Amino acid sequence: MFPFSFREFLDYKGIKQADSLSTKKRLIVQNAFEEYWETGGFPEVLDSLAIEDQNPPGVFHTILSRDLVERHDISHPKAVADLAHRLVDNTASLYSINSLTDILNL
């Protein structure tokens, strides 16, 4: 499943789109973009966030286990999870193959 585009996300949230935006409408769209950025625009994530007992970290682990570990039959799922957490926690950092290998060897 592909994530929503931002335009599709606005439609999903019921926010009308216009060529010119008032200050209030611009604020609504900016807040919607922050939500879009945090949730990634995945429809299932948005639906699960509407249910209070579901949380985004659970979705993160589900994506890791189903889309990576199970699909590619990865023999060391903990290493993949550790690497994914490291990459997500340090998104602004630069990495090389050697530095990623070092992370996996820890």
> What would the pLDDT profile of 30-82 be if each residue is shown by its tens digit?
998 988 887 777 766 666 655 444 455 667 777 888 888 888 899 988 888 88
Instruction: Report pLDDT for 53.
Output: 45
Distance CA 55, CA 45 (A): 9
Lookup: tokens for 74: 């990865």
Q: What would the pLDDT profile of 69-99 be if each residue is shown by its tens digit?
A: 888 899 988 888 888 888 888 888 888 999 8
Q: What is the pTM of this model?
A: 0.45
| Of 18-22, 93-97, 98-102, the least confident | 18-22
Distance, CA of 63 to chain centre: 10
Distance CA 91, CA 61 (A): 18
**In which band, very low, low, confident or very high, does the pLDDT at 23 lie, cut at 50, 70 and 90?**
confident
Amino acid code (one letter) for 102: D
Cα-based distances in Å from 93 to 6, 20, 51, 52, 61: 26, 37, 34, 33, 22
Instruction: Report pLDDT for 86.
Output: 85
CB atoms within 10 A of CB 50: 8
